A = this chain, B = another copy of it.
């Protein structure tokens, strides 16, 4: 059997290696346009930021084995053709034409099964000045090496265009290197997989770390002199001087080869594949950033340019081409995560915004803030937002941001989505508990409890966004902060709140509204004491009490004294009375 794989980043090498393991007697050829094969491209920001300095560390080979393409021939007996381009597919005769980019020679090789793992390319609109020296992407090893040079120049001023995963991770990398960074984002939020109020918490933290943001700002042009970038201009006319710009507004599937060969494309111009990762030609499979896969929540097809999915798909394709469609790739639930400084932000499933766009109109949400383990074990805080279908209780998604162990909670929630669980299935989870790892009731489970309480009508919450909108309209609910005096002096919302510490509420009733139908909104740092206070007020006959969900920790808007007590705020030991 002759297997030809086109593309050598993630899905391609995985497919080739797995084919070889399954079939030792076949001929396996992998075609790679660039110089490098099997790069861990998700590691580029960490290479740029100096977590490690040897670019070879990004090339995936087993320990002790030389990290170059000769590994593929020597160890795996795979014919690895680097700096070679796949030009055209002759489907009728099952032949692939390739071109050696060094010599210019063309060659035609025949295949029994062809696998397209052609990846994706950065979106590059025809903006004035985009070809200036100093404007670059972070998509290839060459890009990473160039950007690492920039990071070593402390006088560099960098504008990052696009607040997605790559943009945000690169912000961290370059800021840690001591550079002056401005992030320009056309939308009103960074990290589109999060809802606005969750993304804003990440942005607030990044601002504290010194990143400048230009939000809702479209890039008009790159400005240069002598072919070299010296500033960018925004649509509002603002000019930001800079020495370098990173352009990272997303990627598009590379489908030219597939399209030319007449393979079917999907609605987003990714290659169409069935559940065996087989294209419209049964002898051609495809995997990775160039295909469209199924979102298991919405059942829609979409591109999903993620390194983990590419690797998993590669393994599926290899089994199917060698053993004959024995493995299905069902799809993804939509999981993503990133680290930015010591802050983590992740999500899985649908955000509220996505749910709305997908036409879910009966969605229940909750926002919960809590430490990730007991205070005595050095807890770190986290804000979790959950989504469920109000009519069925089916769990739809989680977002989590904060200093705590976000990755574990996102993983747990992703499993709940894979298992098609409902709120009821998640209230009594048997998770690994010991004080070094979590609280007795994990904060994720507590978040589910809050969601269940809201679902059952046992708790009435109000989101920060709703409260802020109503305050901006001039409404005046009675707002009750129930923290200690010391905490209040260190930081407060400054939205007209009254302070009565939780332990004093039963004794200081005269400070509460006389009219028991007055709307009262209670909160504390994370709204645990706020919830206790709400229960207590209801017992006193107040009929319209709401808890500000997630408390001050989840408040995405300006706070009083914020900048003097900024980072303290994200640790879990506030001053007490």
In whole Å, how far is A294's beta carbon from the nearest beta carbon of chain B?
Answer: 11
Q: A40-B435, A418-B429 are in contact. List 19 more A-B contacts (CB 8 A).
A: A20-B535, A21-B535, A42-B440, A43-B377, A57-B375, A64-B529, A75-B536, A308-B433, A309-B430, A312-B428, A316-B428, A332-B430, A335-B430, A337-B432, A337-B437, A407-B437, A414-B430, A418-B425, A419-B420
A-B contact pairs, 7 of them (CB 8 A): A24-B538, A25-B539, A40-B435, A62-B528, A71-B503, A415-B416, A419-B420
Q: Is the CB of A74 within 8 A of B503?
A: yes
In the complex the two chains form, what is the Cα distance from A438 to B339 in whole Å? 12
Determine if A91 is an interface residue (Cβ-Cβ < 8 Å): no
- Given A64-B576, A335-B432, A376-B51 in contact, is the A502-B411 Cβ separation under 8 Å? no
Q: Is the CB of B412 within 8 A of A64?
A: no
Q: Footprint of B on A, CB under 8 Å?
A: 10, 20-22, 24-25, 40, 42-43, 46-47, 51-52, 57-58, 62-66, 71, 74-77, 165, 169, 306-313, 315-316, 326-330, 332-339, 346, 348, 374-377, 405-408, 410-412, 414-416, 418-421, 424-425, 427-438, 440-442, 445, 449, 456, 458, 483-484, 487, 501-503, 506, 524-525, 528-529, 531-532, 535-536, 538-539, 574, 576-577
Q: Is the CB of B408 within 8 A of A315?
A: no
- Given A332-B430, A487-B64 in contact, is the A440-B10 Cβ separation under 8 Å? yes
Q: Is the CB of A412 within 8 A of B410?
A: no
- Given A22-B458, A312-B428, A376-B57 in contact, is the A434-B63 Cβ separation under 8 Å? no
Q: Is the CB of B535 within 8 A of A376?
A: no
In whole Å, how far is A253's beta carbon from the nearest beta carbon of chain B?
Answer: 19
In whole Å, how far is A46's beta carbon from the nearest beta carbon of chain B?
Answer: 6
Tell me which of A441, A484, A524, A528 has the highest count of chain B C-beta atoms within 10 A of its own C-beta. A441
In whole Å, how far is A378's beta carbon from the nearest beta carbon of chain B?
Answer: 8
Query: B52, B435, B539: which contacts A376 (Cβ < 8 A)?
Result: B52
Q: Is the CB of A430 within 8 A of B327?
A: no
With a cutoff of 8 Å between Cβ atoms, the chain B residues found around residue A21 in the complex are: 458, 531-532, 535
Query: B330, B377, B430, B440: which contacts A334 (Cβ < 8 A)?
Result: B430
With a cutoff of 8 Å between Cβ atoms, the chain B residues found around residue A433 in the complex are: 42, 306-308, 335, 337
In the complex the two chains form, what is the Cα distance from A575 to B577 in whole Å? 55
Q: Is the CB of B40 within 8 A of A440?
A: yes
Q: Is the CB of A506 within 8 A of B431?
A: no
Q: Is the CB of B430 within 8 A of A418?
A: yes
